[in-house]
Structure 1
Amino acid sequence: MSYLRFKLRQLMQRMWFLPAAFSAVAVLTVIIAYVLARFAPEELPFVMPTNAVQSILQILASSLLTVAVFALSTVVGAFSAASNSTTPRAVPLIAGDLRAQTSISVFIGAFLFSIVGIIGLSAGLYSEAGRLFLFIVTLGVLILVVAALIRWIGQISAIGRVSHTIGVVEGATRDALKVMREHPLLDCRRLDGEPEGEPIAPERPGYVQHCDAGALQDLAKEHDLIVTVLSRPGAYATPVRPLMMVKGVLDDELRDALKDCFVLGDQRAYDSDPRYGFIVLGEIADKAMSASINDPGTAIVVIDTVTRLLLDWDDEHREGEHDRILVAPLVPRDVLDDFYRPLARDGAHVIEVVSRMLKSLETVAACKPILADAARETAGNVVSRAMKAMDDERDVADLQTLSAWATKRS
């Protein structure tokens, strides 16, 4: 993914972007209706009175402002509910949901369209043809508003709920897995052995949100460099944890250009970082096991979700077109620890949760050879924690039976 595409995708996920775009389109539509009226024939089949169009626009303007405020308050309430019942890290995904943004954008855009149309009619800017065009466009806006209202009714029944939040995080993680599958190792060569060269670190610490490997390749080819990326998307880079190691002749200007190929932020991004999705899902499951919520069923649902995602894991180590850039593959154990370790710690006393974790790891080990060893090791950790937390003999016996697959193949 290029830097421009990454920034555009980040921009589109902003809560204000779609409403602003729809508002601009609404204003442009009113202007186009005024301009097109100049090309209309002098004699029209019927005349549209000013009051007829203005009455419809006034109804839209007075009602849509209330609808837009109500929709925004519903979304804010959904943010709070998602943050309290799941995790605050999932809120940006709900805020960036295009379906909810589209409905709100239609309401705001239609409201602004009505206001601008009323101003134009009151000022006498529209001819008979202009009023006719404006009336036709108003009917189209009315249809859009009705469709958005119907769609919004279905959305408010789900948005903010735990199941909806889990589904949103699953979708974002699946998209990140698809990016990883299509661009393994960021389309670079695999790092074998220890990295060599001069370390280049950021001036301020932050999470790597994006790495433009294509730009790195261009710089490395132009200046005869070999670049080893140490901080993949999701890594926390600091002045003592460098972004990369560079082998070749460097100056200050080139160092700055190399650092500009990385986008750092205060939080991790889902786009190219599937591990972040597993961490957020782990937080949701772990929070469900807290004493205040005590909902093992939600933890089991999240475990099933992670199992589906891990079966889509395909971090192939085939090398890409960027031959001057070296990247180390993700460590399978780290990937599994992101999700299973917190839940194994806080859910060790609940046999139903431990049982589902072991079944999940058994499935992953059988279906994904690249994750098999890490899955067995993680299962051993789950069993070790559960043995210390469980007192009932039947639970312990069931636990030994469920974990037999890991000890036989280890």
Structure 2
Amino acid sequence: MTYLQFKLRQLLQRMWFLPAAFSLLAVLTVAIAYILARYAPDELPFVLPSNAVQTILEILASSLLTVAVFALSTVVGAFSAASSATTPRAVPLIAGDMRAQTSISVFIGAFLYSIVGIIGLSAGLYNDTGRVFLFVMTLGVLVLVVASLIRWIGHISVIGRVGHTIGVVEEATRKSLKTMSEHPLFDCGRLDGEAQGQPLSAERPGYVQLCDAKALQKLAEEHDLRISVLGRPGTYATPVRPLLTVEGTFDEDLGKALLACFVLGEQRAYDSDPRFGFIVLGEIADKAMSAGINDPGTAIIVIDTVTRLLLEWHDERKCGENDRVLVAPLVPRDVLVDFYRPLARDGAGIIEVVSRVLKSLETVAATKPTFAAAAREMAKDVVARAEAAMTAESDLGDLRVVAGWVGERD
């Protein structure tokens, strides 16, 4: 993903962008009706009195303002519910939900369309032909509003719920995994062993949100460099932890240009960071087991979700076109620790959760050779924590049964 694509994607996810775009479109629609009227025949089969169109526009204007405010308040309530019931890290995904944004944008855009149309009619800008065009466009807007309202009614029944939030995070993580499989190692070479060259660090701390490998490749070709990327998206960069190492000669300006290929932010982004998705899912499952919520069933649902995602994992082995840039693959153990360790720690005394965790790790170990050793190591840690936390002999007996595979091949 290039810097421009990353910024465009971030812009589209901003909650204000679609309403602003629809508002602009609404104003243009009214203007188009005025322009088309100038090229229409002077005499039409029928004409409309100005109050006929204005009445419809007034009804739309008075009702849509209330609908838009209600829709926005529903979304804000969904943010609060998702933050308290799951994790605040999932809120940006709900805010970027295109279905919710589209419906709200239609309501706001149609409201602005009605206001501008009323102003135009009151000012006498439309002749008989213009009123006909405006009437036809108003009917189209009315159909769009009704369709959006029906869609919104169906959407508010699920938005902000725990199940919906889990599904949204799962989809974001799946998209990140798909990006990783289509562009393994960001289309760069594979870094094995220690990185060579002079290190370069960011001037301020922050999470790496984007690594523009194409820009790094271009600079490396122009200045005969070889670059090893240490700061993949999701890495917390600091002035003492290098983002990359450079083999070759470069000056201060070129060093700044190389660092400019990385986008740092205060929070991690889902786009090219599948580990972040697993971390957020782990937080949801972990919170469900807290004393205040006490919902191990949700934790089990999340475990099943992560199992599906891990089975879709593709190893980063292919080397791409950016041959002067090297990137280290993700470490399997780190991926598993991100999700399973909080559950192993806080769910150690709940046999239902521990059992599902061990079954999940068994599935991953049996189907994904890359994760086999790490899954077995993680399972041993889960069993050790569970044996220390459980006191009922019946629970320990069930634990020994479900953990029978852990000791194999030792």
Q: TM-score, normalised by structure 1?
A: 0.99
SS in 2 for 1:407: coil
Partner residue, 1:131: 131
Partner residue, 1:97: 97
Partners of 1:253 and 1:130 lie apart in 2 by 59
Q: Deviations over 1:300-331 (max 9, x none)?
A: 00000000000000023111110000111100
Is 1:114 aligned to 2:135, yes or no?
Answer: no
SS in 2 for 1:408: coil
SS in 1 for 2:48: coil
* Paired AA for residue 350 in structure 2: V
Partners of 1:321 and 1:395 lie apart in 2 by 54
- CA displacement at 1:252 relative to structure 2: 1.0
- CA displacement at 1:358 relative to structure 2: 0.3
The correspondence of residues 360-379 of structure 1 with structure 2, limited to 5 A, is 360-379=360-379
Partner residue, 1:257: 257
- CA displacement at 1:107 relative to structure 2: 0.2
Partner residue, 1:219: 219
Partners of 2:123 and 2:275 lie apart in 1 by 58
Partner residue, 1:185: 185
Q: Deviations over 1:152-179 (max 9, x none)?
A: 0001000010000000000000000000
The alignment yields a C-alpha RMSD, in angstroms, of: 0.6
The correspondence of residues 236-251 of structure 1 with structure 2, limited to 5 A, is 236-251=236-251
Partner residue, 1:326: 326
Partner residue, 1:286: 286
- CA displacement at 1:394 relative to structure 2: 1.5
- CA displacement at 1:402 relative to structure 2: 1.0
* Paired AA for residue 272 in structure 2: S
Partners of 2:136 and 2:118 lie apart in 1 by 15
Partners of 2:352 and 2:5 lie apart in 1 by 44
* Paired AA for residue 31 in structure 1: A
SS in 2 for 1:263: strand
5+ residue gaps, structure 2:
none
SS in 2 for 1:405: coil
Partner residue, 1:309: 309
Is 1:338 aligned to 2:341, yes or no?
Answer: no
Partners of 2:386 and 2:29 lie apart in 1 by 64
Give the number of equivalent residue pairs: 410
Partners of 2:340 and 2:81 lie apart in 1 by 25
Partner residue, 2:157: 157
- CA displacement at 1:247 relative to structure 2: 0.7
- CA displacement at 1:45 relative to structure 2: 0.9
Indicate the larger mover: 396-405 or 122-131: 396-405
Partners of 1:315 and 1:214 lie apart in 2 by 21
- CA displacement at 1:122 relative to structure 2: 0.2
SS in 2 for 1:240: coil
Indicate the larger mover: 166-175 or 399-408: 399-408
Partner residue, 2:234: 234
Q: TM-score, normalised by structure 2?
A: 0.99
* Paired AA for residue 332 in structure 1: P
* Paired AA for residue 200 in structure 2: I
* Paired AA for residue 191 in structure 1: L
* Paired AA for residue 145 in structure 1: V
Q: Deviations over 1:351-396 (max 9, x none)?
A: 0000000000011111111111111111011001000000111211
- CA displacement at 1:109 relative to structure 2: 0.2
SS in 1 for 2:69: helix
SS in 2 for 1:42: coil
Partners of 1:315 and 1:129 lie apart in 2 by 64
Q: Deviations over 1:84-134 (max 9, x none)?
A: 000000000000000000000000000000000000000000111111110
Partners of 2:37 and 2:259 lie apart in 1 by 54
Partners of 1:92 and 1:71 lie apart in 2 by 17
Is 1:12 aligned to 2:12, yes or no?
Answer: yes
Partners of 1:107 and 1:157 lie apart in 2 by 18
* Paired AA for residue 335 in structure 1: V
- CA displacement at 1:409 relative to structure 2: 2.6
Q: Deviations over 1:1-21 (max 9, x none)?
A: 111111111110001010000
Partners of 1:356 and 1:346 lie apart in 2 by 14
SS in 2 for 1:99: helix
- CA displacement at 1:404 relative to structure 2: 1.5
Q: Deviations over 1:133-155 (max 9, x none)?
A: 10000000000000011000001
Partners of 2:388 and 2:149 lie apart in 1 by 54
SS in 2 for 1:152: helix
5+ residue gaps, structure 1:
none
Partner residue, 1:29: 29
Indicate the larger mover: 392-401 or 120-129: 392-401
Question: Which stretches of structure 1, 4 residues or more, deviate above 4 A after TM superposition?
Answer: none
Is 1:50 aligned to 2:50, yes or no?
Answer: yes
Partners of 1:65 and 1:125 lie apart in 2 by 25
